[in-house]
Amino acid sequence: MSPTLTQIDWFIVLVFLFCVLALGLSLRSNIKTAADFFQAGRTLPMWISAVALAAASIGAQELIATVAAGAQYGFAAAQFFVIASIPPLLFAALYIVPALVNSGARTVPEYLSQRFDRKTGLLNAYCFALATIGGAGLSLYLMASLFHAMHVFDVLFYSFGVPRTLVFTFVVLLAAAVVLIYVLFAGLAASILNQAVQFLVIVAAFFPVAFIGLRNIGGFSALKAALPAAVSLHKSSASISLIALAAGLVLSAGYWCTDFRILQFAMAAKDADSARRIPLIAAAVRLVIPLLLVLSGAIAISLPTPQSSTVVREENAAIIHEITVVPRDAAEGRGLVPARADATGAPLHDTTGQSLLDYDRTAPAILMHLLPTGLLGLGVAALLAALMSSLAASVTAFNAVFTFDLARRAIEEDDSDRRAIKAGRWSSVVFMALAAGAAFALATCNAIDLSFADTLLLFFALVSAPQLATLLLGIFTRRTTARGAFSGLVAAITVALLHYGLALPEGVKPGLHGGWIFPLISYPVFLAVCFWTAAFAFLANLLVTTAVSLFLTPGFNREPDNLVQIKTRAKSKARAAIVAWWKRPETFAAAVLLAAVALSIYFF
């Protein structure tokens, strides 16, 4: 079951890495101002930025989690990862992004500083910086651990006499070094163009997987018939779909509307109209690509489980025994999803004796199993592309926040592009060093029992949800004050951490899954912990901000006509009236939303 990469496979991987580096280096001469480095000069074509945004939303954790959810929950996973993400993304495109772009802010914390005050922007910036470093380190750790478990690089390491224990270090340093090189040379422009390339690599790898898998199963109807028996659900599929849809809407709202790692691609557009269309195009793309990943996961759980076998045949008067030995974790898994194993390689079982499945290994398992010889390198390149895409989005967002928010006063003292670019490059180096250090620290303690999907949900609940109410109240109301916004943000962060520390899923020990303060509240699954953590954080922010603002005189750093969406929408109403209805962003958004509703009904 260990994949054997041929020379063609290694060639594909090397070509991918060469193209990524060459593309970044070729843009070096275009970096002359701070806008060129941090905002790609605001000159890149709209469709490239839209593809980059879609690629950033399918990073390492998202790709692995989406395929894993397809294997674990079947097409009900489409409700969470595909359908539920569309309404928040469309809302961000039509209302959030125009307000950010019209304000002239280069980052989300900078907008909060303009709309409220410096301390609110700084609090948001520090929270974002810490969460981004931790998220990048966790992505590096999880993906490097996955490559180590796949044994992809074993033959290469053995051929050079290097122990395979260094595979983890190799993957971490390779991904970090490649991304850091092209970001240092060309900033956001290199990140956007490379993410477009990485997006195409992911599609090129998973499209033949879905095609070959459907052909092996017998078509889409045969897959749907096989799924109920293959996917283990404790509730009806309709109930799972409703839960996934509701949780997806709540958890993804904060991600799409507040996460600067995603919004930076739209904020780099040349004007507000282009900025609105970039997330709209990305939303249309997300109707197809994540669905392809869910389909791949469903195929993986539905294919026959590999077993060791012996075939006896006679050839030229000789009896030949062909023995195929399958590892125990693969043989005791389900379909192509292997069982979880302990340090000795023995599969783990639950209290009923059933094997515990390692859903995070679904994506590499189906890539390595279904891609023909000579294209395995494409599967490896796709996994590396997902990791690099999430890293690139994180590092470019971090260096912008550090330069324009955390180091703002130092930059303002010497208002020069050269100083800003230098700060951005040095902060990129520091970020990557901290992220790699976090990955090695996690490997050393070896105490991470969160899956890719769990870490993604936890990020939504603890990072994105607490700041959602602050941004919405700032954009849509004039009555919200600086003191109210700061108080609400502090309250939301406190409530999120408090609930996460008191809540724990059933049958799980206190730790990263919750209950690290005291397991006072019990939930059936970890999804419920994240769902209610996000909901309570949002409500706490909304109530505290509103209450404090009502008892204080409204105050702004400057007249917020271009900071409040009500004014922005009123000013653009006359221009929108002369545009044909089929060319308006609202019409395109309505079409994407109708398509999402149709898919939701189909997979319900």
DSSP states of 97-120: HHHHHHHT-SSHHHHHHHHT-HHH
33 within domain boundaries = no
Query: Dihedral of CA 522/525/529/532: which sign?
Result: negative
Strands 503-505 and 318-324: unpaired
Residue 40 lies in a domain: no
pLDDT in tens, 233-286: 444 455 556 666 666 777 788 888 888 999 999 988 888 888 889 999 999 988
CB 517, CB 501: distance < 8 Å: yes
Question: Which residue is listed with tokens 């989005």?
Answer: 393
Q: Which two tokens stand for residue 411?
A: 């930059």
Q: Among 319, 346, 361, where does a domain finish?
A: 361
* Residue partners of 269: CB distance under 8 A and separation at least 6: 42, 46, 49, 101, 275, 278
Same domain, 435 and 289: yes
Give alpha helix (H) positions in 402-416. 408-413
Using DSSP's 3-state secondary structure scheme, residue 503 falls into strand
For residue 89, which of 285, 291, 288 has the smallest C-alpha distance? 285
Task: At 422, list the tokens.
Answer: 């230098």
CA dihedral (341, 346, 351, 357) positive or negative:
positive
Q: Are 120 and 185 found together in one domain? A: yes
482 inside domain: yes
Note whether 25 and 185 are within 8 A (CB). yes
The secondary structure element, H or E, covering residue 122 is: helix 118-150
Statement to judge: residues 211 and 323 lie in one domain: no
Domain boundary among 330, 346, 361: 361
Whether 31 maps to a domain, the answer reads: no
Based on the number of CB atoms within 10 Å of its own CB, is 360 exposed (0-12), middle (13-18) or buried (19 or more)?
buried
Residues 109 and 185 in one domain: yes
Angle at 545 between CA 491 and CA 540, to 5 degrees: 40
Least confident span in 43-47, 107-111, 578-582:
578-582
Residue 459 and residue 525 share a domain: yes
Taking each helix axis as running N to C, give the angle between helix 465-476 and helix 526-550, from 0 to 180 degrees, rounded to the nearest 10: 40
Taking only the tens place, the pLDDT of each residue in 31-60 is 888 888 998 888 888 889 998 898 888 888
DSSP output for 280-316: HHHHHHHTTHHHHHHHHHHHHHHSPPP--EEEEEEET
Q: What pLDDT shows up at residue 557?
A: 45
Domain span at 168: 7-24+47-303+368-603
* Per-residue pLDDT at 416 exceeds 70: yes
Which CATH number do you get for residue 409?
Answer: 1.20.1730.10
Contact status, residue 505 vs residue 526, Cβ threshold 8 Å: yes
Q: Do 60 and 200 fall within a single domain?
A: yes
- Residue 579, both tokens: 């545009």
User: 507-523 pLDDT, tens per residue?
Assistant: 788 888 888 888 888 88
pLDDT tens string 116-162: 989 999 999 999 999 999 889 988 988 888 888 777 787 778 877 88
The count of structural domains within the chain is: 2
CA–CA separation, 175 and 183 (whole Å):
12
SS (H, E, C) 252-286: HHHHHHHCHHHHHHHHCCCCHHHHHHHHHHHHHHH
Instruction: Tell me 582's DSSP state.
Output: G
Q: What is the pTM of this model?
A: 0.87
Q: Can you tell me the mean pLDDT for 552-572?
A: 54
Distance between CA atoms of residues 3 and 366, nearest Å: 11
DSSP-assigned beta bridge partners for residue 334: 337
Indicate the burial class of 168 (C-beta count within 10 angstroms; 0-12, 13-18, 19 or more): buried
The answer to the question of residue 36 being in a domain is no
Closest CA to 496 of 543, 535, 533, 525: 533
> Could you tell me if 473 and 566 are in contact, meaning their C-beta atoms sit under 8 angstroms apart?
no
Domain C-terminal end among 361, 382, 399: 361
**So what's the pLDDT on residue 57?**
83
Q: Are 196 and 48 in contact (CB under 8 A)?
A: yes
Q: Phi and psi of 337, rounded to 5°?
A: -85, 115
CA distances from 50 to 46, 82, 94, 257, 490 (A): 6, 17, 15, 16, 33
Examine the domain organization and report whether 348 and 428 are in the same domain.
Answer: no
Per the domain annotation, does 355 fall within a domain? yes
- pLDDT bracket for residue 108 (50, 70, 90): very high
Do 357 and 456 belong to one domain? no
Residue 600 class from Cβ within 10 Å (0-12 exposed, 13-18 middle, 19+ buried)? middle
Q: What is the pLDDT of the chain when averaged over all its residues?
A: 83
Residue 555 falls within a domain, yes or no? Answer: yes
Asked if pLDDT for residue 194 goes beyond 70, the answer is yes
Look-up of token digits 């017998």: 218
List the structure tokens of 179. Answer: 């991304």
Flag whether 89 is in a domain. yes
- Do 138 and 285 have their domain in common? yes
Predicted confidence (pLDDT) per residue in 315-353, tens digit: 776 777 677 777 777 778 888 888 887 766 677 777 677
User: Distance between CA atoms of 179 and 390, rounded to whole angstroms?
Assistant: 10
pLDDT at 264: 92
The model's confidence at residue 598, banded by pLDDT at 50, 70 and 90, is confident
User: Does residue 383 share a domain with residue 340?
Assistant: no
Based on the domain organization, do 385 and 297 belong to the same domain? yes
**Claim to verify: residue 414 and residue 318 sit in the same structural domain:** no
pLDDT above 70 covers a percentage of the chain that reads: 88
